[in-house]
Chains A and B, each alone.
Chain A
């Protein structure tokens, strides 16, 4: 952060000064002539009015997990039946507080991830290393430009943005303490702020690593890489990276390359660090999403496991020890009670790990951790492999202890009939257990509840061993940002509604019925020529099924940001490019100014850009903060049924006509535009509901007649196909007869007339009074 000192005119005995401007802390080379908008580096309250406007239309809807507040020593306080806690809080505000805390956890994860990776890259390449995302990307950092109001040119410029983010997180966290914020609406406004800074942090992390680690730069033809538990070559030493920070994993590859042995050691990853490893080197492999952690580690395939940050099971080191996998943790967020050997000589760390006298260590230095990992893996792999015997018999013996008490099912997050499957194994029937594998989250809650201590996850692995062996898929490596040229091509058809929408599949692997539903959803929309984007664990799971030609969706569809394509932006932090694409459309297509101009751009996105995210298996707090940030920018998010456990949705009420007016910027008149988009954050119970809801939520007030007709065609068709009837709410989305799909026009018009439908005006929509050009 810089301090600016301005002296217009000063005359004293020692000097005469005129027009002096002094910036302390940083030399600013200002090359961006865009006028600074109203909210550069917005404080907690700078965008509060926008938040309240959104929250008035999309009211917070709470589903408390717990009736009580247990956050201070006054408690536990019972908040049922309208009761207040000792501090005066009621259940609504308490839920707002919990939601804010969750969003802050997520934002803090991305902020520390960004700080770690920026520090690492600055140390490696220097502060002046350029931010460069490729020849066709001039708008390199839409979210940073929008929120911070700066145009980052070098790695060092990102430090200032991170300072801002960390300051906001501290201020917001302070508001959650007892005796601070009291209003649920303002808790939500703060959650939206946390979400926004989260999104900026993601962009910081990803543009830094794309630039300095030479990841693909918006390449639609980013290489196809291997994914699945079956792609790991077990004859080689295997190093497994788990988490999100690619620094230690990239150093493993560097060391292997320097030693001339890359290819003779398998480097694989689980969760987002896996995406980023393949962006760094196509020789790396993806085991799968975070849900594969327990089952893969138990297989004993990994000789060494490197842990960095986020989404790491807290029992994974104990699990690794059981199969003699050596563990190196590398980031201060995950010290895991391990001895810090950062300053020890490499050879002595290797010796300790190889002998097993210290099976797991903490090494804060990514390069050192990388070298140690390789040396240990090479040394222990041959002898270790000989020792790891198949545990099949042990597992099969264990299932015989099952008494069908059913406690496994009752502790399963998604209520799978595990009890029946395990009990069926008594008769040597493992088919049910193998079927469970397709749906199971592999979290292990079932076995921690089992009174007979049956290793159920291991039993599932043994039952599904052939399926696991066949898990060999291709996923397109994360391409990072959307090119400016692509935005120029599709900006207009998206804003006019002629491309029916952009559907983003994002989030974790906490699915209600396995990952197949995700694949089906993505395929459905791609066939209909929506633009499909994906990131994180969802981007991996989209690859996990092959069609009749043996192709995954990434092989079937092109990787452009265009109608009927499916692209993978990359890891969690690459979500920034999905959200950033909406901002880019506003700037590149519509010439809206970005610099510190959040409210206007959010208003543009909400009213004009038919983008919707589906977080079908959202689980982590990061998914909450990412979604909440997208919501502040006007992008609706649909959650799968497990998403109800976030405890808060933002729901509109289609029947309250007064909530759905906008200003017509051309006349200043308030105009009813129908509930478009109807919700900002909505939890669906089934795949079918998610698909139809997405087709509805892509509608925007700005759609042209042709655009709305295309969107309605899909909405009607999907509604009929999946629900069996025409939509009952059609009258809310038809503005004029010209919106109606031609083939059904007469039938629909008759139906509309029965409902007393009347044509609506098509305005130049805005929620901001200051956007009104002229008043009539």
Chain B
């Protein structure tokens, strides 16, 4: 399958993201040993309480910490039963690209990084850094934009469809984690 990058000119080269279907992701989740979810500062995601709740449910279900871009941290600090870290995304990526980094729990680096809610062009470049300099990581873009620099990315979709599919996916992840 192929897709066009959300920003039409954002064509990096021969290595572009595999398309990830939201309904398939819950099966992949089971293969991830140390996931980390990264929430960027795009307001459409962080200011939508429903979406923010779903991101937190996903983190809990996957036993993943949440790294939240500083400007939106206030929207996530109320969630107590998930580890929420306030950190600049470039700083975070600089840590992630070091294979031996100890992580937020001193148990080592993560194996898979899930991005959601990032400013498109900024997130694209962060994914590029990880693509080139962090071969030890798998990267997933869960936004409604196709991000070619991720290893796996949702394809471009409308806001309405994305909300629906994202919630459905979180529900599936939650259910499978309970079972």
Contacts and interface: CB of A to CB of B under 8 A. Distances in A.
A80 B14 contact: yes
B95 interface: yes
A78 B132 CA distance: 12
Contact of B69 (A79, A92, A644, A685): A685
A724 B128 contact: no
B8 A407 contact: yes
Question: Which of B70, B71, B95 is the most central at the interface, judged by chain A CB atoms within 10 Å of its CB?
Answer: B70
B120 A415 contact: yes
Contacts of A63: 125-126, 128-129
Interface in B1-57: 6-9, 12-15, 40-41
A641 B121 contact: yes
B121 A682 contact: no
A143 B160 CA distance: 56
Interface in A646-697: 647, 649, 651, 653, 655, 679, 682-689, 692-693
A411 interface: yes
B64 to A, nearest CB: 19
- At the interface, is chain A mostly helix, strand, loop or mixed? mixed
B88 A644 contact: no
B128 A512 contact: no
Contacts of A411: 7-9
Contacts of A679: 91
Nearest to A407: B8
B13 A78 contact: yes
A82 B134 CA distance: 10
Most buried by A among B71, B77, B94: B71
A685 B132 contact: no
Contact of A67 (B14, B86, B88): B14
Q: Give the bracket for the number of chain B residues in contact with chain A.
A: 35 or more
A535 B72 CA distance: 30
Interface string A39-80: 000000000000000000000011111111000000000111
A683 B122 contact: yes
Nearest to B119: A641
B130 to A, nearest CB: 9
A444 interface: no
A81 B13 CA distance: 12
Main secondary structure of the interface of B (DSSP, over half): helix
Contacts of B131: 80
B96 to A, nearest CB: 11
Contacts of B125: 63, 65, 644-645, 647
B73 interface: yes
A16 B144 CA distance: 87
A36 interface: no
A685 B14 contact: no
B26 to A, nearest CB: 28
A685 B119 CA distance: 8
B121 A91 contact: no
Interface string B97-132: 000000000000000000000111110011011011
B73 to A, nearest CB: 5
B168 interface: no
A151 B120 CA distance: 49
Contacts of A62: 129, 132-133
Nearest to B86: A723
B129 A642 contact: no
Contact of A415 (B13, B69, B119): B119
A728 B70 CA distance: 12
B67 interface: no
A415 B121 contact: yes
A408 B102 CA distance: 43
Contacts of A692: 70
Interface in A720-737: 722-725, 728
Contacts of A413: 121
B109 to A, nearest CB: 13
A685 B41 contact: yes
Contact of B70 (A92, A651, A655, A686): A686
- Which of A63, A413, A684, A724 has the most chain B CB within a 10 Å cutoff? A63
B14 A725 contact: no
Given A449-B8, A685-B89, A722-B71, A64 B128 contact: yes
A687 B71 contact: yes
A722 B132 CA distance: 33
Contacts of A67: 12-15, 132
A68 B119 contact: no
Contacts of A92: 133
Contacts of B77: 724-725
Contacts of A122: none
A414 interface: yes
Interface string A331-367: 0000000000000000000000000000000000000
B73 A725 contact: yes
A411 B4 CA distance: 12
A410 interface: yes
Nearest to B76: A724
Contacts of A512: 119
A65 B132 CA distance: 11
Interface in A279-296: none
A499 to B, nearest CB: 25
A48 to B, nearest CB: 24
A66 B88 contact: no
A268 B85 CA distance: 49
Contacts of B129: 61-64
A651 B94 contact: yes
A61 B70 contact: no
Nearest to A77: B13
Nearest to A727: B86
Nearest to A642: B121
Nearest to B120: A415
Contact of A61 (B6, B88, B90, B135): B90
A692 B86 CA distance: 12
Interface string A620-656: 0000000000000000000001101101010101010
Interface of A: 61-68, 78-82, 91-92, 407, 410-411, 413-415, 449, 512, 641-642, 644-645, 647, 649, 651, 653, 655, 679, 682-689, 692-693, 722-725, 728
7 contacts: A61-B93, A66-B13, A67-B132, A81-B15, A685-B40, A685-B69, A722-B70
Given A80-B15, A723-B70, A725-B77, 9 more contacts: A61-B94, A65-B128, A66-B13, A67-B12, A415-B7, A641-B122, A642-B121, A655-B95, A686-B41
Q: Which 3 A-B pairs have the closest CB atoms?
A: A67-B13, A686-B71, A63-B125
